[in-house]
Structure 1
Amino acid sequence: MLSCQPCRDYSRRVNQASRDSRPGSNRAMNLWSKYRITEPFYDELRSRQGFRCAICGIHEDDLPATLAGRPRKDGKPSAQAFRLVVDHCHGTNTVRGLLCNGCNSALGHFRDNLEALRRALDTSSRGRHRCRPERSPEFPANTRVHQPKSLRTRTVIMVRVRCVPFVPGN
């Protein structure tokens, strides 16, 4: 639907006045409209999870705080994004828990397809191995080789690596 510039300006002013009259309610409105949960339920879920991501377990204080949304025209800082985001089933809209942005994005790439997620897990565990460095004859066991990260490729020449299958618990 197209509208003229004066109508768009009027709509922006009315919306801004509405948001300014209810400070802090944007969060509540977003949680309710997207997931049908309240702020107290979100906070209870955070405390039940120990303020950690339900998948990787990283604490929300260890997650980077980023700004949400586009820059504001009035110069005020944008709101801080939630550090733990709501994970929900797209089919039933059921809330499953709170995740960090990385885990939420990873799940999103699988589009709630459990079979694809299982195949990815099988594929990634198939190639797991543990590498144990062994000294090459040119460098006796009492020789220590230290190099900066930028020169680590040379370390491979000096230290031979033996790969063995990964066995959990070893």
Structure 2
Amino acid sequence: MPTALSDVRIQGYPGRHVLMWAAEAEPAIARGERALRLSPFDSWSFAVFGSQALGHFLLERPGEAAKAAYRAVQSNPGHSINYVILIGPLVTLRRFDEAKAAAARVIELQPNFRISQQFGGIDCAPALATKLGAALQTAGLPESLANLAYSSMSAVGPLLQLA
């Protein structure tokens, strides 16, 4: 008999994950809300918040996107993609110092990070890749390893607090 936790992980996570990178914003947000209702303290809640953040980002709600992305970072500060997701709304909100700090954290956690590799590895929808990719470039993340520049990590601390 499935438990609430297994329901969240088995039904919620894979579908939500696919929806968020496929640029299906509303369903990704809805599945995330359902998952949080079923298991609000799940160790994978960072994935729920990331799905919600990308959904809000695509729907031009950068404030909501930033809030959800910060919750993803707070839930799992060692997961580089949480910071990738956070950069989109921060750039949209013109919070460039925070976006650059998030980019520095991505490189700290994943030194060989490349924008094209991230989007190609997950079959990202073109609309999301274009919009988020532009934000990632604005924040200083490399398109290729040749562009890799290590940034100061002194500004990363504030990312661990909720906006």
TM over 0.5: no
Interval containing the TM-score (normalised by the shorter chain): under 0.3
Q: Structure 2 length as normaliser, TM-score?
A: 0.22
Higher strand proportion: 1
Q: For the pair shown, which has the larger CA radius of gyration, 1 or 2?
A: 1
Q: Structure 1 length as normaliser, TM-score?
A: 0.21
Higher helix proportion: 2
Of structures 1 and 2, the one scoring higher in RCO (CA 8 A, sep 6+) is: 2
